[in-house]
Amino acid sequence: MRYRPLGDATGSVSAVTLQLDAAVAASGQQNIRQLLDAALDEGINSFHIDSLDPTLIRTTGAALSQLDRELLHVALTVGPLPNGRRDFSVEGLKAVLDAVLKATGLQYINTVVLDDPSESELPSLSLKYLEEEPRIRRLGIRGTTPVMDIYIRSGRFEAVFTPCHVQLNSHQRSWLRTAREMHLIVFGTEYYPQQLLSPEPGVTAPPPAKGLFGLPRKRQTAEVPSNPFLFLHTTPGWEAEDLCLANALLDPSLSGVVIRATNVERLQRLARTCERDMPVSLPAQLEMARVAAIRAA
Mean pLDDT computed over every residue of the chain:
88
What pLDDT digit, counting tens, does each position of 145-176 carry? Answer: 889 999 999 999 999 999 998 888 888 899 99
What pLDDT digit, counting tens, does each position of 2-18 carry? Answer: 999 887 666 799 999 99
pTM here is 0.87
User: How many CB atoms within 10 Å of residue 11?
Assistant: 13
Spell out the residues 6+ positions from residue 50 whose beta carbon is closer than 8 angstroms to its own. Answer: 19, 20, 21, 22, 77
What pLDDT digit, counting tens, does each position of 69-106 carry? Answer: 999 999 999 999 988 899 999 999 999 999 999 999 99
CB 148 within 8 Å of CB 173: no
CB 62 within 8 Å of CB 29: no
